[in-house]
Structure 1
Amino acid sequence: MTLNLCGIDEAGRGPIAGDLVVAGCILNSHVDGLNDSKKLNEKKREALYEIIIKNSSYHIVKFSAKEIDDNGISICMKKALLEIMKNLTCKEYLFDGNTNFGINNLPTMIKADGKIPEVSAASILAKVTHDRNIINDAKKYPQYQFQKHKGYGTALHVEMIKKYGYCEIHRKSYKLKALNTLVTPTLF
């Protein structure tokens, strides 16, 4: 844990459905068991989420599929990063990945979510928030089985789109080769 460091990470940049979630986190005390959220099972992520919330200052930003379609993923990412930096005052910021989306004073580090505790914590906050949202969406749109694929373009998800068309939480600006010849109605 580094004092005065805000770790930032996202979840949901790649899926074809659901929210983009970006989290910033400043740890106020040490939290055991932190790691890249993708390397932790769901039960461990959920438990750590509650511990992180109690032991940090954090800010979470979400963009809907419609906002992503209307603005583009890069604009949404930049807006989220700037909002986090505005709401979490810190000496240093570190974003997981290799691009800072044009924000000059935002350093990046590839795989920081597995190396730097503050970024690991942000990774967990973002992933748990994303997954909770899409599991909630699965109740509204059960035919898509979002709880199984979390919005990613798996074979099951593509089959459900072929069968039912797109729903409100699908990112229509994301093109899938498997759907190139498909003309489907939207459900909203």
Structure 2
Amino acid sequence: MGRLIVGLDEVGRGPLAGSVVAAAVVMYESQQIVGVRDSKKLSAKNRVLLCSEIRTTAIGFAIGEADIEEIDRINILHASMLAMERALAALPQDLLIRLEHAFVDGNRLPNLSIPATAVVGGDDSIQSIGAASILAKVHRDDQMCKAAVEYPQYGFERHMGYPTAQHLDALKQHGICPLHRRSFAPIRKLLQVAAVA
């Protein structure tokens, strides 16, 4: 089975709205789940199916988030690191102490309590990172679909907060809502225009 490792990944750096969400997935290094890869390369249906399988076959998993206020206060990069730190910390203590190594997607490491390696493209090459990307993506998409019920005018259930033409048009028509990240350029510009008007 090899070492007991944890994969960490986050989703939601690019959207104009919503939290940034990270997942930690604990697996044995040799463990394989067929179909696991970068969540962005999977259909929504396959992500949901794989999410269910990961939750039942992984040794453990947890979700961490940084909210809109934190993103605006410390910037999206630091908020992403914070979300990953929180995901790791949310694992059961008895599992945390058994972990031998963490693998993190990307070229930067959050402040973790165990030895770690950053892996560019890790969500496609390391199972535990790919699994984390799927769990985080499904969790965040669920949040945005719930947000769409509260704020139907933005179409969050279709673009998940990303700056699509539809989202930008909705912003021009309706202004911003409490879920929008005020530090992001398109939102900041709208606020500046509103302040001058």
- Please tell me the TM-score bracket, short chain as reference: 0.7 to 0.9
Give the aligned partner of residue 92 of structure 1.
Answer: 101
In structure 1, distance between residues paired with 2:74 and 2:2: 34
Matched, 1:153 2:163: yes
Give the aligned partner of residue 56 of structure 2.
Answer: 54
Runs of 4+ in 1 over 6 A off after TM superposition: none
8 Å Cα contact 2:65/2:86 also seen in 1: no
One-letter amino acid of the counterpart of residue 155, structure 2: Q
One-letter amino acid of the counterpart of residue 41, structure 1: S
Give the aligned partner of residue 64 of structure 1.
Answer: 67
| Alignment gaps of 5+ in structure 1 | none
Matched, 1:134 2:153: no
Percent identical residues: 34
Paired residues for 1:3-152 under 5 Å:
3-27=3-27, 30-56=32-58, 57-88=60-91, 89=96, 90-101=99-110, 105-152=115-162
Shift of 1:17: 0.5
Task: State the SS of the aligned residue for 1:10.
Answer: strand
8 Å Cα contact 2:9/2:84 also seen in 1: no
- Give per-residue Cα distances to partners, 1:73-98, cap 9 Å, x unaligned: 23322322333333442101011011
Q: Kindly tell me: are residues 44 and 66 of structure 1, through their superposed partners in 2, closer, same or farther at Cα, counting changes over 3 Å?
A: same
Q: CA RMSD in A?
A: 2.4
In structure 2, distance between residues paired with 1:74 and 1:119: 18
Shift of 1:129: 0.5
Shift of 1:124: 0.2
Task: State the SS of the aligned residue for 1:107.
Answer: strand
In structure 2, distance between residues paired with 1:14 and 1:70: 16
One-letter amino acid of the counterpart of residue 76, structure 2: I
8 Å Cα contact 2:7/2:25 also seen in 1: yes
Give the number of equivalent residue pairs: 185
Q: Kindly tell me: are residues 5 and 166 of structure 1, through their superposed partners in 2, closer, same or farther at Cα, counting changes over 3 Å?
A: same
One-letter amino acid of the counterpart of residue 53, structure 1: R
| Alignment gaps of 5+ in structure 2 | none
Query: For structure 1, which segment, 28-37 or 79-88, has the greater mean C-alpha deviation from structure 2 after superposition?
Result: 79-88
One-letter amino acid of the counterpart of residue 54, structure 2: I
More helix by share: 2
